[in-house]
């Protein structure tokens, strides 16, 4: 997908000298090398996917394997697409994806832009900033629950120290308004470095001579930023948005440990709904249909997005 | 923040650097606070950990680590006095709270599971990934682009969605809650990253090396073994570390597909409960121990980081 150009260059290089060397032909060897991976993916990804598609047309329940399985046709899909709760979960997911991406992109790009100045010790501080993204979201998310505790947590204490609001009023996880933000804050804390790193690569890829030319034309620094820095770094920013978008669409671990979808269902993102339907209510067929819909949605959106990305790249 | 000091032909002025440096250092310090807090909490006593205002200066204690590795029972002071002298640090520490150690906790087995599953799946993913990457890089594979995209697309699916059919399949095959099942699953998830990354690395090794080796009479396999593999070592190592980090940190599959024997540390740590709620020093201790290997790898890895997180889509 993203490496197409590199691939075509690689393929344009001359054919290997020896097509057939002692026994196994190159073609045979190629399959020998590739097939284990393909077979594993077929067994662990594709076969289950088809199974899920089959189940999505039935009323199968995984906790009652002996019940007769009825074919429901598209009934599951119909129910999901008309289910109010599912649409609310999708809106919650979209809300998370929007805010986390916006915050991470703005902060991440700003950080990258500042680090690009190469002040003294920038390598060391960059490494420090990168640490949160290397950690387990579940383990760290769980610990943030402690930081968010209104009576004893560091977060509430720090906020009340700065703003003067009594810490008992900073109920990040149990307040309906604040709970979604508690997750957005942790996600942004954790993944901004990721966006920063990709943006940094983008900024470093801009050749210096373009700025030199702009300087000769007496373009102001603002002008240079808007007409050189930002457009040249845009493909990289878009790549970061793509990766974060896919990941946050699937977001599960942090939400599950911080709020578990609550209070009420204010932070119930699609993955949490899916888990509840599949592993708590055991509506396997119904949840399989939801899983397929989600997959098609990610796949479709990602494809449209990659097309847009390629257009930006070609400019 | 001085936006007017963007790029210029001369290096950024020292003033701009100072402003940039200050902001970055401030951000780095703020973002590292939660981790320092985890570390500090792991050396607090349970009462200290829930004191308000939060205690920044405290008497360090290893109680959290004792509670992490042991299970304890509450006893009367008379009973505790009737026991012989305490054996070791932990025994002494828990006796101060009128408790005795009843036995080991589940943390160590869960941590060992994490090690086995993470390293096992990393080895398999890198092994399969290296072979496939070489295959895609050096041979004309029909529909190569589509196959590569297919390999990548296996990452698009939410883990919970994959977990439903995997759960059913594993139940049929007897792979539920087994280390083997988890290794296979993580290998499948990681192999996409491994193929994409390693293909990038192998593409950069000139074909002439193998051709020269083959002219010298080596077979294709021998040429691969003797020329390409040694050249790709750095790339393979970097890929391995990325796979390891993923498998080490993974939570969703582990939480849904393992319940006991094969459970890894990420779903286990949040379940550490003390008397009257979560035992935060013990959770912090478990978190700290769990994070250390990854911190070491992050520092070793920082130069390769970019390629790994972008599937090699960004070339440096």
Minimal Cβ distance to A143: which of B38, B132, B144: B38
- Three-class secondary structure of residue A25 per DSSP: strand
Indicate the pTM of the whole model: 0.87
Whether residue A52 and residue B160 make contact (CB cut-off 8 A), yes or no, is no
Minimal Cβ distance to A21: which of B158, B214, B283: B214
Structure token pair of residue A193? 């470095």
Give mean pLDDT, residues A163-189. Answer: 91
Which of B5-19, B88-102, B282-296 is modeled with the greatest confidence? B282-296
Decide which of B3 and B105 is more confident: B105
Structure confidence at residue B74 (pLDDT): 86
- Three-class secondary structure of residue B224 per DSSP: helix
Q: What is the pLDDT of residues B239-252, one digit of tens each?
A: 998 899 899 999 99
Q: What is the pLDDT of residues B155-168, one digit of tens each?
A: 777 888 888 899 98
Closest CA to B285 of B45, B48, B43: B43
Specify the DSSP class assigned to residue A20.
Answer: B
Give mean pLDDT, residues B157-181. Answer: 89
Structure confidence at residue A65 (pLDDT): 76
Q: Does A271 touch chain B (CB under 8 A)?
A: yes
Which residue of chain B is at minimal alpha-carbon distance from A114? B20
Give mean pLDDT, residues A287-295. Answer: 91
Q: Quickly state the pLDDT bin for A18 (edges 50, 70, 90).
A: very low
From chain B, the residues in CB contact with A151 under 8 A are 50, 52
Structure confidence at residue B3 (pLDDT): 42
Give mean pLDDT, residues A61-71. Answer: 81
Name the average pLDDT for chain A: 87
Q: How far is CA B230 from CA B127, B139, B224, B226, B237, in A?
A: 14, 19, 9, 7, 11
Name the average pLDDT for chain B: 86
Interface test with chain A among B14, B135, B171, by most A beta carbons within 10 Å:
B135
Whether residue B144 and residue A121 make contact (CB cut-off 8 A), yes or no, is no
From chain B, the residues in CB contact with A36 under 8 A are 128, 131-132
Q: Which residue has the tokens 């896919």?
A: A246
Give mean pLDDT, residues A29-56. Answer: 90
Q: What is the pLDDT of residues B226-238, one digit of tens each?
A: 888 888 888 898 8
Residue A193 contacts residue A130 (beta carbons within 8 Å): yes
Residue A172 contacts residue A182 (beta carbons within 8 Å): yes
pLDDT of residue A80 exceeding 80, the answer is yes
Structure confidence at residue A273 (pLDDT): 92
In this structure, the dihedral spanned by the alpha carbons of residues A280, A282, A288 and A293, taken in order and rounded to 10 degrees, is: -50
- Three-class secondary structure of residue A171 per DSSP: coil
From chain B, the residues in CB contact with A27 under 8 A are 139-140
Q: Does A296 touch chain B (CB under 8 A)?
A: no
Decide which of B85 and A203 is more confident: A203
Q: What is the pLDDT of residues B91-147, one digit of tens each?
A: 888 888 888 888 899 999 999 999 999 999 999 999 999 999 999 998 888 888 888
CA separation for the pair A212, A225 (Å, rounded): 13
- Three-class secondary structure of residue A315 per DSSP: coil
Give mean pLDDT, residues B60-66. Answer: 92
Whether residue A157 and residue B18 make contact (CB cut-off 8 A), yes or no, is no
Q: Does B229 touch chain A (CB under 8 A)?
A: no
Decide which of A13 and B49 is more confident: B49
The b/e string for A254-276 (b: 16+ C-beta within 10 A; e otherwise) is: bbbbbbebbeeebbbbbbbbbbb
CA separation for the pair B180, B120 (Å, rounded): 9
Give mean pLDDT, residues B283-308. Answer: 84
Interface test with chain B among A37, A122, A140, A245, by most B beta carbons within 10 Å:
A37
Q: What is the pLDDT of residues A105-148, one digit of tens each?
A: 999 999 999 998 888 888 889 889 988 988 899 888 999 999 99
CA separation for the pair B185, B195 (Å, rounded): 16
Give mean pLDDT, residues A308-314. Answer: 83
Residue B94 contacts residue B155 (beta carbons within 8 Å): no
Q: How far is CA B42 from CA A141, A144, B60, B265, B271, in A?
A: 16, 14, 9, 17, 16
- Residues whose CB is less than 8 angstroms from the CB of residue A279 and which lie 6 or more positions away in sequence, other chains included: B163, B167, B256
Over its C-alpha atoms, chain A yields an Rg (Å, rounded) of 25
CA separation for the pair B50, B243 (Å, rounded): 37
Structure confidence at residue A23 (pLDDT): 55
CB count within 10 Å of CB B35 equals: 19
Nearest-10 crossing angle of helices A122-130, A84-115: 170
Q: How far is B86 from chain A (nearest CA, A)?
A: 32
Q: How far is CA B209 from CA B158, B202, B237, in A?
A: 41, 12, 21
Structure confidence at residue A8 (pLDDT): 53
Whether residue A246 and residue B155 make contact (CB cut-off 8 A), yes or no, is yes
Q: Which residue has the tokens 């490494």?
A: A127
pLDDT of residue A13 exceeding 50, the answer is no
- Residues whose CB is less than 8 angstroms from the CB of residue B12 and which lie 6 or more positions away in sequence, other chains included: A117, A118, B5, B20
Give mean pLDDT, residues A26-38. Answer: 87
CA separation for the pair B13, A61 (Å, rounded): 67
User: At A71, phi and psi to the nearest 5?
Assistant: -85, 125
Q: Which residue has the tokens 């990325």?
A: B242
From chain A, the residues in CB contact with B9 under 8 A are 211-212, 215
Chain B, 164 to 203: residues with Cβ < 8 Å from chain A are 164-169, 171, 184-185, 187-188, 191-192, 195-196, 199-200, 203
Structure confidence at residue B266 (pLDDT): 93
Give mean pLDDT, residues A228-245. Answer: 91
Which residue of chain B is at minimal alpha-carbon distance from A16? B211
Whether residue A243 and residue B50 make contact (CB cut-off 8 A), yes or no, is no
Q: In this prediction, what percent of chain B has a pLDDT beyond 90?
A: 39
Specify the DSSP class assigned to residue A178.
Answer: T
Q: Does B62 touch chain A (CB under 8 A)?
A: no
From chain B, the residues in CB contact with A147 under 8 A are 34, 37
CB count within 10 Å of CB A247 equals: 17
pLDDT of residue B152 exceeding 90, the answer is no
- Residues whose CB is less than 8 angstroms from the CB of residue A4 and which lie 6 or more positions away in sequence, other chains included: B145
Q: Which residue has the tokens 């002071």?
A: B77
Closest CA to A267 of A251, A284, A285: A251
Residue B166 contacts residue B131 (beta carbons within 8 Å): no
DSSP string, A204-218: HTS-HHHHHHHHHTT
Q: What is the pLDDT of residues B202-228, one digit of tens each?
A: 988 888 888 888 888 888 888 888 888
Chain A, 207 to 266: residues with Cβ < 8 Å from chain B are 211-212, 215, 220-222, 224-225, 228-229, 236, 239, 243, 246, 249-250, 252-253, 256-257
From chain B, the residues in CB contact with A136 under 8 A are 248-251, 266, 290-291, 294
Structure token pair of residue A254? 């942090």
CA separation for the pair A33, B147 (Å, rounded): 14
Structure confidence at residue B297 (pLDDT): 81
Q: Does B219 touch chain A (CB under 8 A)?
A: yes
End-to-end CA distance of chain A: 18
């Amino acid at each position: 997908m993203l490496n197409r150009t590199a691939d075509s260059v690689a393929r344009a290089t001359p054919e290997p000298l020896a097509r057939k060397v002692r026994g196994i032909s190159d073609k045979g060897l190629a399959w020998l090398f590739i097939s284990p991976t393909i077979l594993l993916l077929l067994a662990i990804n594709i076969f289950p996917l088809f199974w899920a598609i089959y189940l999505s047309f039935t009323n199968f329940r995984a906790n009652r394997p002996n019940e007769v399985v009825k074919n429901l046709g598209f009934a599951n899909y119909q129910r999901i697409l008309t289910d109010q709760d599912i649409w609310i979960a999708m809106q919650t997911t979209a809300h998370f994806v929007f805010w986390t991406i916006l915050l991470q992109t703005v902060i991440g790009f700003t950080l990258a832009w500042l680090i690009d100045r190469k002040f003294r010790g920038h390598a060391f501080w960059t490494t420090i900033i990168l640490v949160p993204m290397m950690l387990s979201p579940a383990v760290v998310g769980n610990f943030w629950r402690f930081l968010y505790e209104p009576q004893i947590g560091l977060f509430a204490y720090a906020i009340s120290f700065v703003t003067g609001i009594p810490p008992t009023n900073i109920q990040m996880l149990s307040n309906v308004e604040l709970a979604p933000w508690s997750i957005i804050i942790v996600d942004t804390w954790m993944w901004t470095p990721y966006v920063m790193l990709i943006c940094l690569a983008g900024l470093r890829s801009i050749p210096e001579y373009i700025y030199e030319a702009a300087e000769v034309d007496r373009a102001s620094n603002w002008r240079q930023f808007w007409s050189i820095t930002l457009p040249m770094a845009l493909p990289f920013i878009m790549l970061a948005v793509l990766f974060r978008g896919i990941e946050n669409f699937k977001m599960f671990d942090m939400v599950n440990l911080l709020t578990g979808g609550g209070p009420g269902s204010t932070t119930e993102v699609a993955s949490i709904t899916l888990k509840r339907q599949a592993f708590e209510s055991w509506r396997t067929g119904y949840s399989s249909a939801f899983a397929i819909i989600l997959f098609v949605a990610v796949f479709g959106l990602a494809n449209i997005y990659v097309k847009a990305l390629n257009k930006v790249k070609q400019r | 923040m001085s936006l007017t000091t963007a790029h210029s032909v001369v290096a950024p002025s020292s003033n701009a650097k100072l402003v940039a440096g200050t902001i970055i250092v401030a951000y780095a310090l703020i973002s590292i606070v939660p981790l320092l807090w985890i570390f500090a909490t792991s050396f607090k006593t349970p009462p200290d950990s829930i004191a308000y205002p939060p205690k920044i200066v405290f008497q360090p204690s290893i109680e959290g680590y004792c509670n992490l590795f042991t299970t304890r029972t509450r006893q009367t002071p008379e009973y505790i006095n009737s026991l012989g002298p305490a054996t070791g640090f932990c025994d002494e520490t828990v006796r101060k709270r009128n408790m005795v150690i009843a036995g080991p906790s589940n943390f160590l087995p869960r941590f060992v599971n994490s090690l086995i599953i993470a390293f096992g799946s990393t080895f398999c993913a890198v092994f399969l990934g290296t072979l496939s990457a070489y295959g895609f890089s050096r041979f004309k594979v029909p529909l190569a682009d589509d196959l590569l995209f297919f390999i990548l697309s296996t990452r698009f699916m939410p883990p919970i969605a994959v977990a439903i059919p995997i759960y059913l399949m594993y139940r049929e095959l007897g792979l539920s809650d087994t280390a083997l099942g988890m290794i296979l699953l993580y290998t499948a998830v990681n192999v996409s990253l491994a193929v994409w990354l390693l293909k990038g690395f192998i593409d950069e090794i000139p074909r002439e090396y193998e051709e020269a080796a083959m002219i010298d009479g080596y077979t294709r396999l021998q040429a691969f073994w003797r020329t390409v593999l040694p050249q790709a070592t750095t790339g393979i190592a970097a890929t391995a570390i990325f796979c390891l980090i993923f498998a080490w940190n993974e939570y969703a599959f582990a939480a849904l597909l393992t319940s006991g024997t094969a459970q890894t540390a990420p779903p286990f740590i949040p379940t550490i409960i003390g008397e009257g709620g979560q035992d935060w020093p013990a959770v912090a201790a478990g978190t700290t121990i769990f994070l250390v290997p990854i911190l070491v790898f992050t520092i070793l890895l920082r130069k390769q980081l970019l390629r790994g997180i972008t599937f090699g889509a960004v070339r440096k």
